[in-house]
Amino acid sequence: MLFCDVPPALALIESGKIRALGVTTKERVPAVADIPPLTEVGIPGFDTASWHTVTTTGNVPQGIVDKLYGHIREIMSDPAVTESLVKDGALPQVSPPPLELKRFVESEIARWGKVIERAGLAGSE
């Protein structure tokens, strides 16, 4: 058994070399729309997805952060970029403002920190 993002597994799924039982997001993934979310197959409330972001060190001037944010948001709003990512199995999102992204990352750290603690892995290397 394996949990894996759709993009790196897509070719194996499409070729039949692996059998996907479900996706971890609450909604279906368009590139593999026939694969149900885990919530549809008996695991209620399951909703998680990997995410990727661009970060900087904390001492980068706000003007540069704002400029990066503007360019990234523009790129992620491009229909051609969205189409390419969807085709490859991703769920593209338009970049949220930097402070909103920061709050999201902090909430993910808290969320997954609890999972790590419950699993007894806190402090392990």
The per-residue pLDDT of the chain, averaged, comes to 93
Q: Are residues 123 and 73 in the same domain?
A: yes
Q: What is the pTM of this model?
A: 0.78
Supply the range of the domain harboring residue 21. Answer: 1-50
Q: Are residues 57 and 115 in the same domain?
A: yes
The 10s digit of each residue's pLDDT in 16-62 is: 999 999 999 999 999 999 999 999 999 998 899 999 998 899 899 99
- On whether the CB atoms of residues 37 and 28 are closer than 8 A, the answer is yes
How many other C-beta atoms lie within 10 A of the C-beta of residue 26?
14
Q: Are residues 62 and 89 in the same domain?
A: yes
Q: Are residues 71 and 32 in the same domain?
A: no
Q: Are residues 63 and 93 in the same domain?
A: yes
Residues 6+ apart with CB under 8 A from 95: 53, 69, 72, 73, 76, 101
Give the total number of structural domains in the chain. Answer: 2
